[in-house]
Structure 1
């Protein structure tokens, strides 16, 4: 469950997955810019409306036995009233607590039947609930969704309201505990006049949440949650005929709600400049600048989004080129348009390099904006922007579900426009835009009326009918669906590079993922961070291409590129459109084989890396990921480096571009790598391309990494990191576990699901659902070739730190001996994993991730095809025996990050183990 705020602060292109898209209007004259021939997607659908007003859209996609159930209620935070803010989101949480005939925690119940992409979100304009379920579980999902639409209020009582109120307030604390976490509230309050429906945040004010009453709950539900205010999309392995039958059966009896008044557009355009200055515990100064603009479904929307892409949409944008790349006064500089239903915000976000002149940064950004207003974008800039948006929509066609799949596309269009095809009009408008039309829209809306928020660090100082289904009992559960992944076809190039191909032809995209056996573990102990920085620099220059040229080339082909590292591997990723595959592969191989690590780019990224490390030290979870590894593994182990991969400030300062070139020369050998290819191609087609692209790559010897085994500490130790004023404490419990390819790895992950790996795990149900001291806690086994880090992470409210730590200690001991895993718990965890398998292999990216696990960690080729059989054979006795030998409750490393003036005494009083105070670098503090 989450607040879905518009992506104003991220400045991404606002697409249909979050905001809806534009309706048709008179198209401007076509541009002479030549955009790649990327066709506008066509999502086929059948539409019908029940007598009670429920609008239903059905899309068929039978590639996997999964159906997306995506429900959009046309109500969000703009439907609230001043003094009752945050209620739309609070009510979203209440919808997960069970209903009159479905008396279960919704997330737990749906996970138990294999639901994936399962969540609910609220934004200013709508609240949605979505899940992908195995086809055999569709009746179960429709029963549950329809029951909370038509039969909710008998279950929601004062206790439930208070519990979810506490969860939401902890969500708010958790958000405000992050750097810049309080900015959005100030930004909205100053962007819109008092009383404007967008002038408050979706999560609302603490005092308003405290004031929410049962009367509010009942009125909100009766007013806004009727079927006549709802769009239901069923997308995937289903036919329209079957969908109509089932929807009539489960939803037909629910009466409509009252007629609703629709908000009219209220752009609230401002004049002049308004400025707000804030001081927060942040590592770098940041400038936010916004303008009030028209919202979605307006003639200006696509034009402003194209202008935003040119101005601040990525490495090819003007802000990036000037501020980050050329002048190197900022570590990030982004901008873009973000439309909502009755208005929008066009925004820039500029993050200053530490020590930089913030006023100069702001002045330069303004120069770039004024240049755009004066001259508009160039033909080539506009071509790149168009290609980026068209490629994003092409990739959406891989997924049926929520968070950006085809069902979201249809639901957004229907909810906001009544036309499920409206995205086609929007994309046609993108294609038809000209430099002149983009320039005009930007001048109309961005030449006046801006808000500047500067954030600086603290000074260093119908009548109801008869139900169509018996609601006295739930539908019989279906069985796990058969999983048969595309075959891993294997070949080896003439230079020794191993190639693994999996064909997937439903969308015209192809994934490439090169795995190089190296990773953080290949870094010298005194040079942590080399591997990840070297991978980051692959796209910063080759022998024949410069950094910005590379970004422009990928964007011009509609391709996506990324290079990164994890504990054991360097990873080079590309997602290419079928239409531009040969050109994209040529560029991809050039970056892999011929990186030049230019000195000027290294110096720029070295500064960015130092700034990134400073930011990590201000985010509690990232801080824990930095200091825990050396405590767990000891200073000299290959894994004893920050799990963020960024290294240490001291090491980065000493680093040279020659260190990065040496890393590449040492580890990048074809005989030390595997290339995964997943998507719309065949071995016969792609192998000749690969032979040509990698013809110059030569095999050679590579060093061996030695992953020595580390013993657990003799007893638990508690490390304290002071963060004065923090509204939450973050409690980390850490230990070492067996490698990813250990025979017990799969059953141990199931045992961890019982303990802390899922929403309905023991520790989350305890600290979130029962105690409501946290927005959510979790535990995770990180994949590794050597001993894996096994960590629980628990953000809790400050005044419950001691009690939360006490509960966690008890939970660790209970899983070993005090409270054996029951047959019911085990079945729930096994069902969640096995029934949910089909939903994890929908896209080329998901398949690539799965095959990456197989290749990187030496798992059997049939690992996922035999997964269900292995998981279902696990017995409670085996699970408990495994827990007893895998968890070390009295030999844990505990790290608590919070305001020690408020929590230290309580932690010490627990007598868990020796208490040691350390700083943000993990060094002792006296």
Structure 2
């Protein structure tokens, strides 16, 4: 898989669905709903009374009218259906293909095969040696694929001039794949997928998905086994399986192609006919029976795992996407546990304080859905009491239903989210995917509109009745409790009858008969890419001196406002780690006139989202608002910033949640590694030498409400603030609204505080730092060293490009070596931070435990070879990171959020307004020698601190062979250096 965990476009109403993709971090977590109620329900009005609306808020029906994706369609003689949506705002086209086959189509003994095949589709076809290289060189972004129960999809967003190349390559692997699939490719991708499975299984609560399928569905049900499959079945996949799967499922008549962006139907028809027209029709994908199953009685299962707190879940199956109850269930479960003001949050987190986290959601699929609610028990609380309260909240909600105001708030948030999704033409959540899923699942590309209209028209009675139909049935009662993990994820995820029937024998790896290849087809060239159009930046200043920047974009009726302070969790220092970020988080907990629930409700009525965050150098309060509701949304944002209450009860609750978050981080191998690295490389005296934003248990435990109020007064000041705005608003309209909201804010007396970013750091040294995590099927390698430059050092584009060559991207050397060639990892990444102070090079690599030492040795050797060992950047790499980046620039600014990030980066790094428009010229001026020099200067491994989190019983002997000094750290890495 190439990517995981991104929400599908709204037709599914997944509210957080995780799919299995080709490249990304794996988090196999099913969202949820729950309920058990038998009490008679009171009558609710068939028509919802008008809710209390926020002053100035736009009506919901008006918002729904703004969601529109016009399209045309045509079908070739071979059955390939194409949907075309024209959007000329940027010179790019989103290419999206949906194949009507997923894991529900897999037979016994071949679980995980649809996803494994998706990986193979990127390994090259008869006329394309590697799918990624030509596309990334052409400027494609989001070159990816994913697999889920009902479908497999492939996505790329390309410059308009590269559309022929993208279509030729998609057609080549649709019509001419098998001649290029070898046993070696199958074996390597098998290893990658198995490491993807290990990576997911290795997380806290990582085995829950398997337990849900086992508990709710009978053996043989198409939705019972996981999309990732079982290790035994992956081992058994053979070349004959690959060929049969391709011939049975990957014909054009089983495909929906969506082209969205700088394209029209006439142009699309000619190009699609040219590249796909000669591919023959194949057999239709066989429909499978996948009925919704109701348990005859509750099923109870308890799992022991290396987790910090007990998680309680209630799970049911639900109806498929086209069932009349699907919209009502989506809204009902959103109200139960998805909204910030959800029933579970209000009563169990903020109310009785029995939980540190709750959630509920509807994981929607074509034939059925998984309805689930989760509760993480607050440490020190009796589990039985928390569980009883959990069931009571669900039961009461199912019995009585929501209020009219709750229904409108939930619907407004959903519609606002879909308006935001209209910005992207491609990718997993863009307009192309929305149209394709509507056609694939509902025989209507515009099904998204019908779903939104249905949601906007829902009454409380309809939501209540749907909840009662589905959540009064017996649930799966699942609990994951802290302890030693006793179940083996490698044996989970399969068909379910492995205890009575033997697992399939591993493929004998016998050579398969050769396949005759088709006549060669040349990969089309890429047309020139036009000049990048970056929005003009307008500037103003509020009467109190706060600078304002605006980039106006009118593609969608939304606005993003960022209020940024020069602060960040570097303000803490090691001794106070976590205090500052806790203060920033506490802003959301209440003002002098609103509590946290009121803040959440007011946002929901407006279709707005206000979030606070702390990075290393900055604090940000970010508002995403509908243009029609900007003024009242800004008023709410100002209240949160200017009038924080820091009530003792709220602070105490927030502290408990933060302590639980720290425990969760300490239970995660990635979290352990991340906490350890910065203190080791920056040292205890530097502001950056902390364990991260969450902080330490010791520091957080000492926090008081008065202390947070003092922290806020010290750092959140108008003279350290700036406002950056992107979206559909003119400066003449924006400035008076900002002035009313923030213009009267005055700075306290005295100079603003400052961080000492020139504090000394320890000398770098090549060393291993090991943290023991028993029962880990993978080791997490997280390494880094300091660079002799700061985030504001100019002229380091050659360093950025060298880092891309080494480890930043799918085609980077380290990822191709450790993942694609060796099959030991799901992915390797390197990065170079760009803070105000000294920059840090980082490397992350989750690898299978028995290859930990080998992986480190290969990584160090590859770094050495690049940094002066005779293996400088080659022509293919150079073209990819220069011309590819130039061609891909339009892709980087499709959304308001992308433009906002760019503006903030310009500010943070002191770059001119025209930096991005001149970036092509800058890249063209970079020569291979400059990239090699940057690698030699910055990317060697001679002073690399290498943190390894893994099972010492497995890895100690491997690490000893590396001949490096080794330090062992305790699991609680709230330390500044090794001991």
Structure 1 residue 693, shift from structure 2 partner = 0.9
TM-superposed CA distance for 1:376, in Å, is 1.0
**Equivalent position of 2:843 in the other structure:** 792
> What residue in structure 2 maps to residue 520 of structure 1?
569
Instruction: Decide whether aligned partners of structure 1 residues 492 and 470 sit closer, same or farther in structure 2, where only a CA change above 3 A counts.
Output: farther
Q: Which residue matches 1:696?
A: 744
Indicate conservation of the 8 Å contact 1:33/1:383, yes or no: no
| Paired residues of 1:627 and 1:920 also in contact (CA < 8 A) | no
State TM-score, norm by structure 2.
Answer: 0.90
Give the deviation of 1:531 after TM superposition: 2.1
Is the 8 Å Cα contact of residues 517 and 672 (structure 1) preserved in structure 2? Answer: yes
Q: State the Cα distance separating 1:892 from its structure 2 match.
A: 1.3
Output one character per residue of 1:556-590: Cα deviation in whole Å (capped at 9) or x when no partner. 10001110011110011010001211111110111
Q: Hey, what's the Cα distance between the residues in 2 that align with 1:822 and 1:689? A: 53
The residue that corresponds to 2:355 in the other structure is: 330
In the TM superposition, what whole-angstrom CA distance separates every residue of 1:208-248 from its partner, at most 9, and x where no partner exists?
Answer: 00001111101110111111000000000111111111111
1:752-791 equivalences under 5 Å are 752-791=803-842
Q: Would the alpha carbon gap of residues 791 and 187 (structure 1) be closer, same or farther in structure 2, given more than 3 Å must change?
A: same
2:294 touches 2:474 (CA, 8 Å); kept in 1?
A: yes
Write the distance in 2 (CA, Å) between the matches of 1:254 and 1:658. 71
Query: Which region of structure 1 is more displaced relative to structure 2, 505-514 or 328-337?
Result: 328-337
Is residue 218 of structure 1 aligned with residue 243 of structure 2? yes
Specify the alignment match of 2:76 in structure 1.
50
Q: Report the Cα distance in structure 1 between the residues aligned to 2:610 and 2:222, rounded to whole angstroms.
A: 39
- Find the counterpart in structure 1 of residue 514 from structure 2: none
Match of 1:529 in 2: 578
Report the counterpart of residue 409 of structure 1 in structure 2. Answer: 434
Q: Does 1:909 align with 2:928?
A: no
Q: Deviation per CA, 1:473-507, whole angstroms, max 9, x where unpaired?
A: 11012334421211111111110000000000010
Equivalent of 1:806 in 838, 845, 857? 857
Rounded to whole Å, the distance in 2 between the matches of 1:125 and 1:525 is: 49
Residue 558 of structure 2 corresponds to residue 509 of structure 1: yes
Say whether residues 1:825 and 2:874 are aligned partners: no
Out of 686, 695, 712, the residue aligned to residue 637 of structure 1 is 686
SS of the aligned residue for 1:154 comes to helix
What is the rounded CA distance, in whole Å, between the counterparts of 1:524 and 1:902 in structure 2? 36
CA distance in 2, matches of 1:696, 1:147: 63
State the Cα distance separating 1:918 from its structure 2 match: 4.4
Verify: 1:664 aligned to 2:712, yes or no.
yes
CA distance in 2, matches of 1:598, 1:715: 46
Correspondent of 1:92 among 113, 118, 122: 118
How far does residue 695 in structure 1 lie from its aligned partner after superposition? Answer: 2.8
Aligned with 1:678 (options 716, 726, 731): 726
Partner of 1:651: 699
Counterpart contact for 2:666–2:971, Cα < 8 Å: no
Contact 1:399-1:406 within 8 A present in 2 as well: yes
> 1:47-92: CA deviations, max 9, x gaps?
1101100010000111111100000001100000121100010000
* 3-state SS of paired residue (2:673): helix
Work out whether residues 398 and 843 of structure 1, in 8 Å CA contact, stay in contact via their aligned partners in 2: yes
The answer to whether 1:874 aligns with 2:929 is no
Q: 1:597 aligns with which of 642, 646, 665?
A: 646
Number of aligned residue pairs: give it.
906
Q: Does residue 751 of structure 1 match 2:799?
A: no
Alignment of 1:727-746 (within 5 A): 727-737=777-787, 738-746=789-797
Partner Cα separation in structure 1 for residue 534 and residue 762 of structure 2: 39
Which stretch has the larger CA shift, 874-883 or 818-827? Answer: 818-827
Q: CA deviation at 1:29?
A: 5.9
Structure 2 spans left out of the alignment, 5+ residues? 20-44, 52-58, 487-517
The alignment status of 1:284 with 2:301, answered yes or no, reads no
Is contact 1:712–1:891 with CA below 8 Å preserved after alignment? Answer: no
Alignment map for 1:259-274 (pairs within 5 Å): 259-264=284-289, 266-274=291-299
Look up the SS of the partner of 1:39 in the other structure: helix
Secondary structure of the 1:706 match is coil
Equivalence map 1:95-114=2 (5 Å): 95-104=121-130, 106-114=131-139
Within-5 A mapping of 1:813-892: 813-818=864-869, 819-892=871-944
Distance 1:290 1:918 in 2: 37
Distance in 1 (alpha carbons) for counterparts of 2:6 and 2:716:
41
Corresponding position: 1:894 with 2:946: yes
Q: Kindly indicate whether the alpha-carbon contact (under 8 Å) linking 1:58 and 1:240 is maintained by their aligned counterparts in 2.
A: yes
1:110 positional shift: 2.0
Secondary structure, counterpart of 1:788 in structure 2: strand
Cα shift readout 1:154-193 (whole Å, capped 9, x = no counterpart): 0001111111000000000000111111110111111111
Whether contact under 8 Å (1:397, 1:507) holds in the other structure is yes
Structure 1 residue 770, shift from structure 2 partner: 0.7
Maintained 8 Å contact 2:5/2:17: no
Q: CA deviation at 1:107?
A: 2.7
Whether the aligned pair in 2 keeps the contact of 1:719 and 1:918 (CA below 8 Å) is no
CA–CA distance in structure 1, aligned partners of residues 681 and 410 of structure 2: 46
| Cα distance in 2 for residues equivalent to 1:880 and 1:670 | 44
Q: Which residue of 2 aligns with 1:464?
A: none
Task: Indicate how the Cα distance of structure 1 residues 597 and 745 shifts in structure 2: closer, same or farther if over 3 A, else same.
Answer: farther
| 1:769-800 superposed Cα distances (whole Å, 9 cap, x missing partner) | 11111111110112201111211001110101
- Residues 494-546 of structure 1: CA distance to partner in whole angstroms, max 9, x if unpaired? 10000000000010000001110000121244211122111111111111111
Q: Which segment is superposed worse, 659-668 or 181-190?
A: 659-668
| Structure 1 equivalent of residue 604 of structure 2 | 555
| Contact kept in structure 2, 1:498 and 1:671, CA below 8 Å | no
Q: Indicate the residue corresponding to 1:25 in structure 2.
A: none
Q: d(CA) in 2 for partners of 1:535 and 1:478? A: 48
Q: Distance in 2 between matches of 1:854 and 1:288?
A: 45
SS of the residue 2:358 aligns to: strand
Q: Which residue number corresponds to residue 56 of structure 2?
A: none
For the 8 Å contact 1:908–1:915, the answer to whether it is kept is: no
Partner residue in 1 for 2:14: 14
Asked if 2 retains the 8 angstrom alpha-carbon contact of 1:13 and 1:309, the reply is no
Mapped to 2, the partners of 1:266 and 1:762 lie a distance apart of 46
Distance change (3 Å), C-alpha of 1:589 and 1:231? same
- 1:615 to 2:667 alignment: no
Cα deviations by residue, 1:421-466 (Å, 9 ceiling, x for unpaired)? 11111111112211111111111111122101110111699xxxxx
8 Å Cα contact 2:292/2:317 also seen in 1: yes
Give me the whole-angstrom Cα distance separating, in 2, the residues matched to 1:909 and 1:120: 38
Counterpart in the other structure of 2:32: none
The alpha-carbon deviation at position 272 of structure 1 amounts to: 1.9
Q: Deviations over 1:791-812 (max 9, x none)?
A: 1001110101111111111112
Show the counterpart of 1:24: none
Secondary structure in 1 matching 2:790: coil
Hey, what's the Cα distance between the residues in 2 that align with 1:292 and 1:590?
Answer: 42
Are residue 120 (structure 1) and residue 145 (structure 2) matched? Answer: yes
Asked whether the equivalents of residues 184 and 201 of structure 1 are also in contact (C-alpha less than 8 Å), the reply is yes
1:719 aligns with 2:769: yes
Cα distance change on mapping 1:266 and 1:360 into 2, 3 Å? same
Quickly say closer, same or farther: Cα 1:397–1:7, change in 2 above 3 A. Answer: closer
Q: Could you tell me whether the CA contact under 8 Å between 2:310 and 2:479 is conserved in 1?
A: yes
Deviations 1:799-835 (A, max 9, x none): 0111111111111211211122223322222233222
Give the CA RMSD over aligned residues.
Answer: 2.0
Q: Does the aligned pair in 2 maintain the 1:265–1:341 contact within 8 Å? A: no
